[in-house]
Every structure is written in structure tokens, then in C-alpha cells.
Structure 1
Amino acid sequence: MELSVHTFVSLDGVMQGPGGVQEDPSGGFDRGGWLVPHSAEGQIDAVGEWFGRADAILLGRTTFEMMRTYWSQVTEPDNIVATALGTRQKYVVSNTLTDADAAWGKTTVLRGDDIVDQVRRLKERPGGELQVHGSWRLVRTLHDAGLVDIHRLIQFPVVVGAGKRLFDDGAVPSAYRITESQVAAGGSGAVSLTLHRTASGTTGAGEFVVRDGRESTA
């Protein structure tokens, strides 16, 4: 399976608490809900398409509990997100949740200090996509281990100014190529991006130079 990461992100890279003030107030974050004013009709339509591609879903504990609280209340049969979360195989990374605590459809708790190896083995199984949603700390761990194949982002034209960022200082340098891009309907300026990891996965380096009066690269 390919491992894909799905994130709502601000212009300055913040992914913390986009959907509500109390969604994730950890670290004293008091700017939650920054996405909501930009979530007019059509702005996040891509999310249904995201979940429609999922063979399995991988979440950190905090995101799992937040999603279960919210999405288990959505009972409309044609809601793609609620259906996927309620019926697809889910994995939650936690050393504190018991199997009973994690009860929500088909859910398996991944425990221990070898989470990277456990996820690597999941990726080796046949199938389409193993999807991660939110799960800031887990995403960083998987990125640094070189396990992320695809990033799907919806970037909103707002600077939050503080909070957990998708990539902060110390992230392992990596290279991706944009394979899909679309400005969301509704006029708010949100942009949906799909990025695939390059074959080498490394950023490389170079410089601009002038040769014989012409700008070139080296």
C-alpha cells in the first residue's frame, strides 16, 4: 500500500485545530477554528475524494478520539467520510488506549516502540492507500522515516501565526512533485494539492550563475 498524508494547512504551515476552538488546544493554542470562515460550499469537497481512496486509515490517538467523537454522530448514509471511518480498517497508534477504549468499527491499536517498523509492514500489504489524517506527531515520525509517498493538502489563505506546523525545524529534507492542483470553488482562494515523493526523495542543491552574460544554473 502507498502511505498518504492528508492535511488542512494555513499559509504559514499550521495544521493545529483547524475545525474548532477546542479541537486541539494543546500547548496553549488559542487560535483553533481558523479554517471555518473559509469552509464555504465547495472549499473542502476534495475531502470526500480523499476518503474514497482509502483502503485503511492510520491515526494518532488524539486525532482518533476527536474523529470518533465527531464522525460517529454523522449518520447520513451518503456521507463518504463518515462511512469510510465507520467501515474501513483503522489503525490507531497509542500505548495508552486499550482495545475496549478504541472500539469504533474495525480498529486495531498499534503499540510499542517500533511503530515505524509496524507501519512499514502495513505498507507491504497489498492494497491501495493507507491514509493518515491529521495526527501531527505521527506524520512527522513517518516523514522523517521516509515512509510518506503522497501528501494531499488543502491550503487556506490565512496566516495563523502560531501552532503545530506540518513541517517545522528539523524535518528531514525531502522532495515531492505536484501531480494535481486545483483552486477550490467558492472564491475563498483555498488550493488543493497532491504531491508525490520523487524517485530519489532528496532535495539536491545548486546555484544560479552567470555565464557569458546569460543566467544559468550549476
Structure 2
Amino acid sequence: MKLSVHTFVSLDGVMQGPGGVQEDPSHGFDRGGWLVPHSGEGQLEPVAGWFGKAEAILLGRTTFQMMRAYWSQVTDPDNIVATALNHWQKYVVSNSLTDDDAAWGKTTVLRGDDVVEQVRRLKEQPGGELQVHGSWQLVRTLHDAGLVDVYRLIQFPVVVGDGKRLFADGAVPATYRITESQVVNGGAGAVALTLEQTAFATTGTGEFVVRDGRESTR
């Protein structure tokens, strides 16, 4: 399976608590729900397509608990996000959740200090995508381990200022290519991007120079 990461992100890279004030108030974050005033009809349309590619869902503990509280209430059979989260195979990374604590459809708890290796083994299984949604700390761990094959982002034209960022300082350098892009109308507008990894561990460097009066690179 490919491992793909999905999130909403602000212009300055914040991914924390986009959907509600109390969604993720950790570290004193008081700007939760920043996405809502900037959304409009059809703006989150790409999300259904994301879940349509999923074989299984992988979540961090905080995102798991937040999603379970919300999506377990959605019983509309035509809502693919609710169907995926309520009924498909899920994995949650946690050393504190018991199996009873994690009861939500087909859920398996990944425990221990070898989470990266456990995820690597999941990726070796056949099928569609192993999808991570939200899960800031888990995403950073998987990115730094070189396990993320695809990023799917919806970026909103708003600067949040503070909050957990998708790529905070110290992230391992990597190079991606944009394979899909779409300007999503509605509200203030947004850009949906799909990025696939091309090379890990280096972004390469260079500089612009002038040779014989012409601009060039080296």
C-alpha cells in the first residue's frame, strides 16, 4: 500500500484545529475553527475523492478520538467519509489506549516504540492506500522516516499565525512533484494539491548567476 497524508493547511502552514474551537486546543491554541469562515459550498469536495482511494486509515490518538466523537454520529450511507471511518479498517497509534478505549468499528491499536517499523510492514501489504488524516505528530514521524509517498492538501488563503505546522522547523528535507492541482471555488477559495515524493533526504541547491550578460544557474 502507498502511504498518503491528508490535511487542511493555512497559507502559513498551520494544520491545527481547522474545524472547530475545541477540535485541538493543545499548547494553548485558541484559533481553532479558522477554516470555517473561509469555506463555502463545494470547497471540501476533494475530500470524498481522497477517501475513495483508501484501503485503511491510520490515525494518531488525538485525531482518532476527535474523529470518533464527530463521525460516529454521521449515519448517512451516502457520506463516504463517514462510511470509511465508521466501517473500514483503522489503525490508531497509542501506548495509552486500551482495545476497549479504541472501540470504533474495525480498529487496531499500534503500540510500542517500533511504530515506524509497524507502519512499514502495513505498507508492504497489497491494496490501495494507507491514509493518514490530520495526526500532526504521527505525520512528522512518518515523514522523517521517509514513509510518506503522497501528500494531499487543501490550502486556504488565510494566515493563522500560531499553531502546529505541517512542516515545522527541523523536518527532514525531501522533494515532491505536484501531480494534481485544482482551484476550489466557494468561500474565499482554496487550492487542492496532490504531491508525490520524487527523492528523499535532499532538495538540492544552486544559485542564479550572470554569464556574458545573460542570467543562468549553476
TM norm structure 2 = 0.98
Tell me what 1:97 maps to.
97
Paired residues, what number?
218
Structure 1's 216 and 136: CA in aligned 2 closer, same or farther, altered over 3 A?
A: same
Shift of residue 106, structure 1, vs aligned partner: 0.5
* Amino acid corresponding to residue 175 of structure 1 in structure 2: T
Tell me if structure 1 keeps the 8 A contact 2:11–2:155.
yes
Query: How well do the aligned residues superpose, as a CA RMSD in angstroms?
Result: 0.9
Alignment match, 2:25: 25
Q: Which amino acid aligns with 2:133?
A: H
Which 4+ residue blocks in structure 1 deviate beyond 6 angstroms? none
Shift of 1:10: 0.3
Q: Distance in 2 between matches of 1:110 and 1:79?
A: 27
Partner of 1:51: 51
CA-to-aligned-CA distance 1:120-167 (integer Å, 9 cap, x gap): 010011111000000000000000000000000000000000000000
- Per the alignment, residue 14 of structure 1 pairs with 14
Contact 2:174 2:202 in 1 (8 A): yes
* Distance apart, 1:88 and its partner CA: 1.1
| TM-score of the pair, normalised by structure 1 | 0.98
How far did residue 200 of structure 1 move? 5.0
Partners in 1 of 2:201 and 2:195 — Cα distance? 12
Q: Secondary structure of 1:182's partner?
A: strand
Structure 2 equivalent of residue 123 of structure 1:
123
The answer to which of 146-155 and 178-187 deviates more is: 178-187
| 1:189 Cα deviation from its structure 2 partner | 2.1
Task: Please say if residues 208 and 217 of structure 2, whose CA atoms lie closer than 8 Å, have aligned partners that are also in contact.
Answer: yes
Deviations 1:76-126 (A, max 9, x none): 110010001112110000000001110111100000000000000100111
| Distance in 1 (alpha carbons) for counterparts of 2:128 and 2:204 | 29
Cα distance in 1 for residues equivalent to 2:188 and 2:125: 40
Aligned equivalents of 1:117, 1:192: Cα separation in 2: 30
Q: Provide the rounded CA distance (Å) in 2 between the counterparts of 1:201 and 1:88.
A: 33
Worse overlay, 185-194 or 3-12: 185-194
Partner-residue secondary structure (3-state), 1:51: helix
Aligned partner of 2:162: which letter?
A
Segments of 5+ residues of structure 2 without an aligned counterpart are none
1:212 CA displacement: 1.1
Do residues 141 (structure 1) and 128 (structure 2) align?
A: no
Distance 1:64 1:121, change over 3 A: same
Q: Distance in 2 between matches of 1:101 and 1:52?
A: 27
CA distance in 2, matches of 1:211, 1:122: 51
